[in-house]
């Protein structure tokens, strides 16, 4: 006989796995700890496997079988949520949750502004947001942890849909007193012998290095950083130049020093800003509405926070 369990038990199991303890999960789903513990015990009894290792000081950790069960349970709950979306669509109700991912360097400029304007347009939609690099965002989409991602067209695999909305060519970032600031035209050749602060994120770093490789050149990398604020501070304090695809309205490093953004001369492949999601025959009205909202904002006033 196949094991019998409820969607509620799956929901509680996923909540405990994500929160790391029954107490935290009870606050997350607004159910008593005893009810969650009982549900998980019943689920393990019905399945005949141990899903969690109970460690008094460290909470609950998934077993290897529990990890597999957790991943499949999330997919099931996501499919159930889509059924709910179908029901909402039938009555033309724009309400419910949406989980959005945002590329980590875009998040400080775009995420909060877009979240606010979308909520103002659709007040009955509940939004959660997560940040990540491109590899992380694609993995979150595949695991149904997010419904849509605000990102770039960096190596989008088959099985994903990407809608490009605006081209963002590479921007050179310089300290205010960098000698290059006085040049009227700056090209890649001018940078070869200068120290480079490389934004070293998966796929992003390969894009910036490709700008040199396409011309048979190699940059002189002084330091690699994974944080946009660190890159801006190092550049502003004269340790080298940086490359980005976004330029901000207020060109200041976190320590208050001024930065100068310059366009590189020559033709360089841009990063394309847009939204990514998994290919599917069905996409909820909320997700479609969010993509439409981003498109309208980009077409109307460009990207928020950017010059």
Q: Tell me, yes or no, whether 139 lies in a domain.
A: yes
Q: Does residue 139 contact residue 167 with C-beta atoms inside 8 Å?
A: no
Q: Which of 16-20, 150-154, 204-208, 271-275 has the lowest mean pLDDT?
A: 16-20
Q: Examine the domain organization and report whether 232 and 243 are in the same domain.
A: yes
Helix (H) or strand (E) holding 88: helix 64-90
Q: What is the average per-residue pLDDT within 123-130?
A: 90
- Say whether both 259 and 201 belong to one domain: yes
Nearest CA among 273, 282, 285, 276 for reference residue 122: 285
- Are residues 148 and 193 both part of a single domain? no
The three-class DSSP label of residue 52 is strand
| DSSP code string of 36-70 | HHHHHHHHHHHHTS--EEEETTTEEEE-HHHHHHH
Same domain membership, residue 163 and residue 174: no
Domain containing residue 24: CATH number = 1.10.10.10
**306 part of a folded domain:** no
Using alpha carbons, list the distances in angstroms from residue 150 to 91, 93, 128, 162, 274: 28, 24, 13, 10, 6
Q: Are residues 253 and 139 in the same domain?
A: no
Are 65 and 49 in contact by the 8 Å Cβ rule? The answer is: yes
**Do 237 and 286 belong together in one domain?**
no
Residues 178 and 265 reside in one and the same domain: yes
Asked if 212 and 218 count as a contact pair (C-beta separation under 8 A), the reply is: yes
Domain count, the chain: 3
Q: What would the mean pLDDT of 33-45 be, rounded to a whole number? A: 87
8 Å CB contact between 175 and 259: yes
Residue 81 lies in a domain: no
- Dist CA 105 CA 202 (whole Å): 12
Quote the pTM value. Answer: 0.69
Q: Are 260 and 276 members of one domain?
A: no
Distance CA 294, CA 300 (A): 10
Which residues form the domain of 127?
95-167+272-301
Is residue 180 scored above 80 in pLDDT? yes
Residue 256 zone, left/alpha/beta (φ > 0; ψ -120 to 50; rest): left
Residues 13 and 127 grouped into a single domain = no
DSSP symbol at 270: P
| Pair 112, 261 in one domain | no
Residue 90 is assigned to a structural domain of this protein: no
> Does one domain contain both 255 and 175?
yes
- What would the pLDDT profile of 194-214 be if each residue is shown by its tens digit? 999 999 998 899 999 999 999
Please give the share of the chain, as a percent, with pLDDT higher than 70.
92
Do 18 and 72 share a domain, yes or no?
A: yes
């Amino acid at each position: 006989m196949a094991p019998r369990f409820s969607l509620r038990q799956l929901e509680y199991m996923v909540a405990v796995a994500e929160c790391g303890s029954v107490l935290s999960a009870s606050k997350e789903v607004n159910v008593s700890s005893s009810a969650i513990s009982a549900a998980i015990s019943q689920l393990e009894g019905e399945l005949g496997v141990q899903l969690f290792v109970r460690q008094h000081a460290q909470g609950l950790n998934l077993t290897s079988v529990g990890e597999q069960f957790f991943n499949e349970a999330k997919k099931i709950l996501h499919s159930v949520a889509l059924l709910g979306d179908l029901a909402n669509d039938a009555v033309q109700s724009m309400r419910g949750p949406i989980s959005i991912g945002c590329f980590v360097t875009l998040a400080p400029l775009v995420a909060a502004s877009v979240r606010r304007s979308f909520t103002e347009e659709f007040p009955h939609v509940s939004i959660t947001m997560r940040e990540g690099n491109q590899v992380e965002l694609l993995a979150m989409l595949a695991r149904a942890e997010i419904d849509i991602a605000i990102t770039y067209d960096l190596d989008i695999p088959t099985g994903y849909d990407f809608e490009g909305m605006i081209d963002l060519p590479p921007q050179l970032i310089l300290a205010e007193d960098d000698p290059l600031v006085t040049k009227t035209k700056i090209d890649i050749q001018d940078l070869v012998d200068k120290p480079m602060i490389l934004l070293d994120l998966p796929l992003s770093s390969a894009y910036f290095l490709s700008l040199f490789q396409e011309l048979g050149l190699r940059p002189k990398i002084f330091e690699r950083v994974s944080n946009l604020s660190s890159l801006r501070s190092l550049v502003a304090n004269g340790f080298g130049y940086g490359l980005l695809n976004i330029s901000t309205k207020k060109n200041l490093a976190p320590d208050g020093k001024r930065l100068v953004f310059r366009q590189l001369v020559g033709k360089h492949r841009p990063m394309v800003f847009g939204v990514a999601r998994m290919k599917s025959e069905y996409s909820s009205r909320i997700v479609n509405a969010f993509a439409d909202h981003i498109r309208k904002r980009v077409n109307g006033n460009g990207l928020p926070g950017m010059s």
